[in-house]
Amino acid sequence: MGFFSMLREGLTKTRQGFVSKIENLVSGSKKIDDGLFEEIEELLIQADVGVNTAVELVERLRKTVKEKKIEDASELKDVLKEQIKKIMGEEKYLLNLENKPSVLVVIGVNGVGKTTTIGKLAHNLKLEGKKVLLAAGDTFRAAAVDQLEIWGKRVGCDVIKHKEGADPAAVVYDAVQAAKARESDVLIIDTAGRLHTKTNLMEELKKVFRVISRVLPGAPHEVLLVLDAATGQNAISQARLFTEAVGVTGIALTKLDGTAKGGVVIGIKTELDIPVKFVGIGEKIDDLKEFSPADFVEALFEN
């Protein structure tokens, strides 16, 4: 199955909870009035695009209706699609892998699928012919190191680790040194899942970043925040707080196939303007895909 087909299938719940409802709302001989715009706004908010984004989209709708003198409500679905397309843009944002080694730090709260995302990302990079090293910087969760080692064996990557409970900064120090010594192309660092609201844990994450930049000036080159699409608007507040703490260069949005809240992708773009670089649309090893905004909008609106 091609990426577009997978994405279209993955967005089924979002399409049913959002686009299909818009379609039903504007079908027939419905009058275009304030009441209709309010209903569309409500549906957008329910689809987890976010209040601010919903308001902006409806304003754009109103403006287009006025400018083009649209009287047929059924045309509003296509107008909405075009406006979402404009918001999302055409550009695909790829990982910055120009350095050797390129250091990627993967962050996020517990339970979003960080380690699985690392494994799938390492698999993708190996297929591109990259020499990949993994670092087990999550030293707190009992099974985290084991889980990363299982992925390492599965995709053929070495894992730098210390014993459980070790200082994550020490693991990271060794990992960056190892990546330089072994001439690795990419070092991917796992970190402990932490609540974005816990100040002490965020401070510890900052310490890890300081150690990385000391050992390798200019690193990390990518900070990938893993978000669970099913958390909807909460994902946006997580992204905002992590960005304030350590700076986020890209987002990997997991579990897009299991939720009706895929509209959060639009909210992330308008409210934070942090690029979504990857989407997880399945359980298989090759189900982490580079995100294409144009394909996302087409797949969302395709019947």
Q: Which of 207, 168, 184, 194 is nearest to 134 (CA)?
A: 184
Domain 102-301 architecture: 3-Layer(aba) Sandwich (3.40)
Q: Model confidence at 131, in pLDDT bands (50, 70, 90)?
A: very high
Beta bridge partners of 136: 190
Q: Report pLDDT digits (tens) over 171-210.
A: 999 999 999 999 999 999 999 987 656 777 888 899 999 9
The two tokens of residue 222 are 């990518």
Cα 9 to Cα 5, 88, 255: the distances in Å are 6, 20, 12
What is the helix (H) or strand (E) element at residue 234, kind and residue range?
A: helix 233-246
Q: What is the pLDDT of residues 248-297, one digit of tens each?
A: 999 999 998 888 889 999 999 999 989 999 999 888 999 999 999 999 99
Q: pLDDT for 72-125, tens place per residue?
A: 999 999 999 999 999 999 999 999 999 999 999 999 998 899 999 999 999 999
Interstrand relation of 222-228 and 102-107 (parallel, antiparallel or unpaired): parallel
Q: DSSP string spanning 96-119?
A: ---SSSEEEEEE--TTS-HHHHHH
Band the pLDDT of 245: cuts 50, 70, 90. confident
Query: What amino acid is encoded at 126 in this protein?
Result: K
d(CA 255, CA 227): 9
Q: Which residue do the tokens 């080692």 mark?
A: 149
240 membership: H or E segment, kind and range: helix 233-246
Report domain extents, the chain. Answer: 3-88, 102-301
Rounded average pLDDT over 119-140 = 96
Environment class of residue 217 by beta-carbon count within 10 Å: exposed (0-12), middle (13-18) or buried (19+)?
A: exposed
Tens of pLDDT along 46-61? 989 999 999 999 999 9
Fold of 3-88: Four Helix Bundle (Hemerythrin (Met), subunit A) (1.20.120)
